[in-house]
Amino acid sequence: MPSCWPFLSIKNRLLSLISNLNSFLRSLGTRAATVELLNSAPSNRAMSSPKIAVVGAGIIGISSALRILQAFPGAEVTIFAESVSPDTTSDVAAGFWGPSYISNTPHEIVISWGKETYDHLVDLAKSDPQSGKCGVFLAPGFELLSVDDPGTRYWSHIPLEFRRATPSELSVFPSRIKSGIYFISAVAEGSKLIPHLTDQFKALGGKLVENHRVNSFSELQQLGYKHIINCSGLGAMKLCGDKTMFPIRGQVHRVAAPWLKFWFTSDDGTYCLMNTNFAVLGGVAQKGDWNMSVSETDKAGILSRNYAIWPSLRAAPVLADLVGLRPGRDKVRLERENIGDCTIYHNYGHGGSGLTLFWGCAGDIVQLLKADLPTAACKL
């Protein structure tokens, strides 16, 4: 055996090791390039981020838009609204929790929406440091009746406390009051809550297009929206051709009555509801009336009826006279409708219960979207 063979053998081994090392380094480069390519490619989330339009910026529209963004982070959600706060019906409302003017909406559905909303308001009032800013608080008060038996309320299990008013409690009211109900309501002032929710919506990347009246869903389809949330209220009469919609005119008077720390309603339509900086005196419920002007006749009747129940209100100066049109309908419409390749999610017709049902209704809209959109886009 030649004496150089051992050295050749060692050399060959070294060359083999170097070759293997180069192959390994090349593989590392390939892996790094692959990782870089994966990182630069659009993610499943980006590819499946939904583009959603919301029509209407009242309490129903803004809460739906906000809950959608909370459930679908990164989604492109845009509100198109002809009117925004402080010029919505929700801004006029006192924001008193209690189902009203929702006709034939099934009780079990009202209970579901109402409880979710009430619980949400209680949580805001208790835990949110911004509860004062957004006008949410708990308020005890009385539903006053001119009949001996107050009857029952199908939603009586929702409030923190709900019971018949005692004889001693009723004794402070006029003699025509024969019975009553005491319960703890939740107040959500639309004029404060809507701006608060709008700020949250924008902070999550939502967009608000103001002074934009949507005349047809095809307008939004042409802009690339295949998922449209219809929270147009009375606007649904024209937008959807919904002939079952009708206005329920309301008129209220804000007065300065800081000494009054409870609310009351009466079965003749009278009410005094507390807000943060004033009391709201009402009311009227005039079906089919589109008149947005303040009626002095209605005002005189509203004030005199409230004064008869609680005379000290005579000393409360009137701060503002306001009129709003409740979006009346035989029952709330919350459902999906397919129009071509576009899906419309209707959420309107809440009568006088927008601020009683808004959060629960928005939650149901989210559930409908979750069933229709890719799971990659949804925050589970």
Inform me whether the pLDDT recorded for 16 exceeds 70: no
What pLDDT, on a 0 to 100 scale, did the predictor assign at position 75? 96
19 assigned ligand-binding residue = no
Q: Where along the chain do its domains lie?
A: 51-372
pLDDT at 18 over 70: no
The answer on whether 304 is annotated among ligand-binding residues is no
- The model's pLDDT over 56-83, given as tens digits with 9 standing for 90+, comes to 999 999 999 999 999 999 999 999 999 9
Q: Is 13 marked within a binding site?
A: no
Cα four-point dihedral sign 251, 254, 257, 260: positive
In sequence order, what are the residues at sequence separation of 6 or more whose Cβ sits closer than 8 angstroms to the Cβ of residue 362? 60, 63, 64, 66, 67, 68, 347
Residue type, 187: V
CA distances from 151 to 101, 127, 145, 170 (A): 18, 34, 10, 16
For residue 49, what pLDDT band results from cuts at 50, 70 and 90? Answer: confident
For residues 358 and 117, is the Cβ–Cβ distance under 8 A? yes
Distance from the Cα of residue 40 to its chain's centroid: 37
> 374: pLDDT confidence band, cut at 50, 70 and 90?
confident
Q: Is 356 annotated as a binding residue?
A: yes
**How far is the C-alpha of 170 from the C-alpha of 164, rounded, in Å?**
10
| Amino acid (1-letter code) at residue 122 | V
**Rg, Å, the chain Cα set:** 30
Residue 28 has pLDDT above 50, yes or no: no
Find out whether 63 and 358 touch, Cβ atoms under 8 Å.
Answer: yes
* Annotated binding residue 295: no
Whether the link from the prior residue into 50 is cis, omega within 30° of 0, is no
Q: What is the DSSP letter of 73?
A: T
Please state the rounded mean pLDDT for residues 273-302.
98
**158 token code pair:** 């929702």
Determine whether the annotation assigns residue 271 to a binding site. yes
Q: What is the pLDDT of residue 22?
A: 53
- Per the annotation, does 103 bind a ligand? no
The tokens describing 363, both together, are 């939650």
- Is the pLDDT assigned to residue 15 strictly greater than 60? no
Does the pLDDT value for residue 234 go beyond 90? yes
- The confidence score (pLDDT) of residue 29 equals 47
Write out pLDDT tens, residues 307-327: 999 999 999 999 999 999 999
Is the domain 51-372 a CATH 3.40.50.720 member? yes
Known binder of ligand: residue 326? yes
pTM of the entire structure? Answer: 0.86
**Confidence category of residue 221, pLDDT binned at 50, 70, 90:** very high
Question: Above 50 in pLDDT, residue 131?
Answer: yes
How confident is the model over 199-206, as a mean pLDDT? 98
Residue 354 annotated in ligand binding = yes
When the pLDDT of each residue in the chain is averaged and rounded to a whole number, the result is 90
Question: What DSSP designation does 373 have?
Answer: S
Report the alpha-carbon distance of residue 380 to residue 375 in Å, rounded. 8
pLDDT digits over 153-189, tens only?
999 999 999 999 999 999 999 999 999 999 999 999 9
Residue 2 has pLDDT above 60, yes or no: no
CA distances from 30 to 38, 42, 75, 246 (A): 12, 20, 34, 67
Q: What is the pLDDT of residue 44?
A: 43
pLDDT at 265 over 70: yes
In the predicted model, is pLDDT for residue 20 greater than 70? no
Q: Where are the beta strands (DSSP E) in the chain?
A: 51-55, 76-80, 136-145, 162-164, 179-188, 207-209, 227-230, 246-255, 263-266, 271-274, 279-282, 286-287, 318-328, 333-339, 342-348
pLDDT of 100? 94
